[in-house]
Amino acid sequence: MNILVLCTGNSCRSQMAEGFLRKFMNNNDTIYSAGVSPEPVNQYAIQVMEEVGIDISGHTSNHVNEFTDSELDVVLTVCDNAYEVCPAFPGSVRKLHHNFIDPSNVEPEDACILNVYRKTRDTIEAYCVELASEISS
């Protein structure tokens, strides 16, 4: 199964979801992530994922256009903006959507910034556990 997780910047939420789906899906499944306006992978996202044993430090941000000709089974949009501008994909792609809070909207000097990232991470993890169970059966 080929799964694309799509977000606006491909810097945080989609990177987290990619990491969790790689952990929870079968080894023969391929998980990608992309953004409609890619930005570098967020350092706080890397840090909070590391806390749960998932290394996304080697992930890169990709543009959704890199995947428009790919054979995908599932496209998961993880923010409303990506859902609204999601391009069409060939074939019978299953489209799923769940809007997760964007932790990067928090001011960097906020002392609790990591807690915001952890909350988003934990919400994405719970969703990915359920999704992996649903689509791999």
- Based on the residue annotation, tell me whether 86 is a catalytic residue of this protein: yes
Q: With CA atoms as reference, report the closest residue to 96 among 68, 76, 81.
A: 76
Contact 7, 32 (CB under 8 A): no
Alpha-carbon distance of 98 to 128, in angstroms, equals 11
Q: C-alpha distances in angstroms, 74 versus 26, 55, 71, 77, 96?
A: 14, 23, 9, 10, 7
Active-site annotation holds for 79: yes
Identify the helix (H) or strand (E) that includes residue 70: none
Could you confirm whether 112 is annotated as catalytic? no
- Out of 7, 12, 112, 128, pick the active-site residue: 7
**Which residue in 12, 79, 112, 128 is the catalytic one?**
79
For the annotated catalytic residues, the residue numbers are 7, 79, 86
